[in-house]
Amino acid sequence: MDLTTTNHMKFFLTLSWLMLFILPDVASSKTVTYEYDIDYKTINIAGKDVNALSINDQIPAPTISATVGDTLRVTFHNRLDVETSVHWHGVLLPNAQDGVPRLTTAPIKPYSSHTFEFPITHAGTYWYHSHTGLQEQRGLYGSLVFYPHKNNYYYDHEKVVMLSDWTNESPENVLRHLKREDDYYSLKKDTVQSWDKVIRNGPRAIRNRLNNAWIRMGPMDISDVGYDAFLINGHRHVELEDVNPGDVVRLRIINAGASSYFYVNYSGGPLTLIEVDGMPVSPIKLNRLRLAIAETFDVLITIPTDGRRYEFRATAEDTSGFASLMMGQGETVPAPAIEKPNLFLMDHSMHASMDHGAMNQPDSMEEAIHNGHEMHKHNGSAIEDAGRSIPELETLHEYHGIRSPRPTTLNAGNSSREVRLELTGNMERYVWTFNNKALTEADKILIRKGENVRFVLNNKTMMHHPLHLHGHFFRVLNGEGDYSPLKHTVNVPPFQTVTIEFMANEEKDWFFHCHNLYHMKAGMARVIRYEDNPGNSEDFDDYLKRYGDPWYYFADIGLYSNMLAGKLWAMNLRNSLEVHYDFDWDKNYEVDATYERHLTRFFGVYGGGKFEHNKGESEQTATIGIRYILPMLIKTDLRFDSEGKFRFQLGSELQLTNRTGFKWYWNTDDEYRVILEYEINKAWSVTANYDSDFNGGIGITAHF
């Protein structure tokens, strides 16, 4: 057979395949239309009235559904007095419809409207949310369900299960508090890493703490924010009563949390995982599943036939709360509780191992994405996977065991590009970056259409990071080879490396970011640009320059029996302004004002001035210096002043009990201070101090 004949046969087979799957879509396609208002809504979820944000007066927003082949048209009327936006998370669609304000889509201005319109090319469970500021945390999120023409699995019912976290605080205050203090919410969550608890947990806990301090890592926590509630479909407790014993229920689980990972489990038996991030996977039975932020997992469950009421439970990863979906009627069978992790007996590598599942791509990536709903053909029968028995696992770890039902390999003939990104950050100042650069500092990542692009993601931090790429599905290289799963969001555990790859088949600019809302806002994001067909993002770049690096302002004001003392400071990404002041009751004072440039997480340079008045004499000197954090988290300060004097200072902080902290410093001018502080709440503390110049005293400190 000659080459021409072979090519004709390939063309005929390809055309026949396309007609088989695409013509039915075209024949039945329609335009599905929705129209929604975005407005304020007063809601009381956790004991306090909060001015939240809603879509059509609902939190979460209404479910939007369509069928592959349809055109989706959704109009949003912004009734807010601020701008907003809508991003279609995980959906393949034209660049201009993606919904990132100023990068791909114009923001929806106050009291204006915007219509999105795009074809539905792939089935699955997805979601939509605001990509403006921190609006997602306040309620602007909803579910998407795109159906195939042929049902892939047999089930009697389906239910969208949208998980979220809720705080009575404004999201802006949450971020400000995280900037102020890296463990701000630990007391609220009962996760304070105090030395009395370390000692009570024995030698191993002491060794872990000292080892971590030696590598300049602070006490470890699993999540950043202390939430007031965790929700399923906007409620702590949801009833699903219209199910009968023996029914099979498909749960479309979406983690819409702003910064919470969730464990899910079911008291009626295992979960059968069938889709991840909208893409089919070879079924796996699991007793427990963990969802990273922004992931979607579809599972099948069966209602037992004993006539009892069974609980599906979603528990925050740090076990600080949970929400329940109850199915059936009768005596309640609760889901097993998730054991609270012992943070004192975990080192950073153990924290890294507490992870879950992933996915990959097909013979042709386009085939897998656009026709992924055809990968499983079960014809209404019980679940089987090409005659294979369904594996059973207790839980998933790092996506191991998640397997695409069809090959997902990329075309080896394409040119290739590798992008290496280190996930970096500074928990103390709450700055999150790629390669030690925040979005406002970094160049765009350049790729070209037709390339196979591989991202090597090396997490150098002690936190998990769920990374989301707009406009593309990628293969997660999880050990399944040609059958690596397809995803749009991937979790990268602490101190581990995850590799993803995709074919660059789009154009213009697309967003890539951590989907922990506060990590993204603190800098962990990039723009992916098709250099051969770039987008028009000048407005986005200008907006970042003007508003992308805001300042945060704080104050500690202490009134003590021996003096008035405190600190005023402001910070943004790389800069801080600080004023330390001490005034005694004899009109003596010392004021130290500095501007510091933070060059790395551990190193900064500063300049400023010192102003003193002591026993009727005043003195003003200019200062320059460097600050550096040593192993064991000891802060050093080396400065020179305009009179030629040199000063070296050491200091540190220790958390003794849940509410009691100890601070000290000493310098070569024979100045020293020790402080013992008892925290009443985050606004007030009782303090005892002794200072080499101002003697000892007790009093109260207000924190703003």
Contacts of 659 by beta carbon, 8 Å cutoff, 6+ apart: 187, 192, 678, 679, 680
In the numeric block, the tokens 């201070």 are attached to 673
Strand 87-89 with 61-67, pairing: unpaired
Per-residue model confidence (pLDDT) at position 380: 32
Q: Which of 451, 450, 454 is nearest to 476 (CA)?
A: 454
Q: Rounded to whole angstroms, how far apart are CA atoms 175 and 188? A: 16
For residue 695, CA distances in Å to 152, 379, 653 come to 77, 83, 20
- pTM of whole model > 0.75? yes
Q: Over the range 140-173, which residues count as b (16 or more CB within 10 Å of their CB) and which as e? A: bbbbbbbbbeeebbebeebbbbbbbbbbebebee
Q: What value, to the nearest 5°, has the Cα angle with vertex 520 and ends 519 and 523? A: 90
Residues of the chain with pLDDT under 70: 1-28, 347-388
Q: Which of 658, 624, 674 is nearest to 197 (CA)?
A: 658
Q: Does residue 392 contact residue 487 with C-beta atoms inside 8 Å?
A: no
Contacts of 497 by beta carbon, 8 Å cutoff, 6+ apart: 456, 457, 458, 459
Q: How many beta carbons lie within 10 A of that of residue 669, not counting itself?
A: 13
Query: In a 10 Å sphere around its CB, with 0-12 CB exposed, 13-18 middle and 19+ buried, how is residue 383 labelled?
Result: middle
Q: Which two tokens stand for residue 44?
A: 């009381």
482-495 pLDDT, tens digit each: 999 999 999 999 99
Q: Does residue 303 contact residue 246 with C-beta atoms inside 8 Å?
A: yes
For residue 207, CA distances in Å to 197, 308, 492 come to 13, 48, 26
Q: Which two tokens stand for residue 372?
A: 């992924």
Cα Dmax for the chain: 105
Could you tell me the domains of the chain? 28-43+52-151 (2.60.40.420), 157-169+229-359 (2.60.40.420), 172-214 (no CATH), 406-541 (2.60.40.420), 552-703 (2.40.160.40)
Q: Rounded to whole angstroms, how far apart are CA atoms 308 and 15? A: 53
Question: How many residues can be counted in the chain?
Answer: 704
Q: Which of 113, 315, 360 is nearest to 222 (CA)?
A: 315
Query: In a 10 Å sphere around its CB, with 0-12 CB exposed, 13-18 middle and 19+ buried, how is residue 206 labelled?
Result: middle
Q: Which two tokens stand for residue 6?
A: 């072979």
Q: Does residue 156 contact residue 247 with C-beta atoms inside 8 Å?
A: yes
Q: Rounded to whole angstroms, how far apart are CA atoms 514 and 518? A: 9
Q: Rounded to whole angstroms, how far apart are CA atoms 625 and 118? A: 57
The phi, psi pair for 256, rounded to 5°, reads: -95, 20
Sheet strands (E) in 170-305 = 229-232, 237-240, 248-255, 262-266, 271-276, 279-286, 289-291, 296-302
**3-state class of 597 per DSSP?**
strand
In the numeric block, the tokens 């603190």 are attached to 522
Per-residue model confidence (pLDDT) at position 221: 87
Q: Does residue 59 contact residue 99 with C-beta atoms inside 8 Å?
A: no
C-alpha torsion angle, residues 347, 349, 351, 353 (rounded to 10) = -140
Q: Does residue 523 contact residue 574 with C-beta atoms inside 8 Å?
A: no
Element spanning 160, H or E: strand 157-166
Q: Rounded to whole angstroms, how far apart are CA atoms 174 and 167? A: 9
In the numeric block, the tokens 């890592």 are attached to 217
For residue 273, CA distances in Å to 128, 186, 262, 390, 440 come to 22, 34, 16, 10, 39
Contacts of 389 by beta carbon, 8 Å cutoff, 6+ apart: none
Per-residue model confidence (pLDDT) at position 22: 39
Q: Does residue 156 contact residue 249 with C-beta atoms inside 8 Å?
A: yes
Q: Which two tokens stand for residue 243?
A: 């199910």
Per-residue model confidence (pLDDT) at position 604: 98
505-539 pLDDT, tens digit each: 999 999 999 999 999 999 999 999 999 999 999 99
Amino acid (1-letter code) at residue 543:
Y
Q: Which of 107, 260, 89 is nearest to 185 (CA)?
A: 260
In the numeric block, the tokens 């400071």 are attached to 569
Contacts of 409 by beta carbon, 8 Å cutoff, 6+ apart: 361, 362, 363, 482
Q: Rounded to whole angstroms, how far apart are CA atoms 54 and 635? A: 46
Q: Which two tokens stand for residue 240?
A: 């699903």
Contacts of 530 by beta carbon, 8 Å cutoff, 6+ apart: 447, 448, 449, 504, 506, 507, 508, 509
Contacts of 458 by beta carbon, 8 Å cutoff, 6+ apart: 420, 421, 422, 423, 497
Per-residue model confidence (pLDDT) at position 220: 79
Amino acid (1-letter code) at residue 247:
D
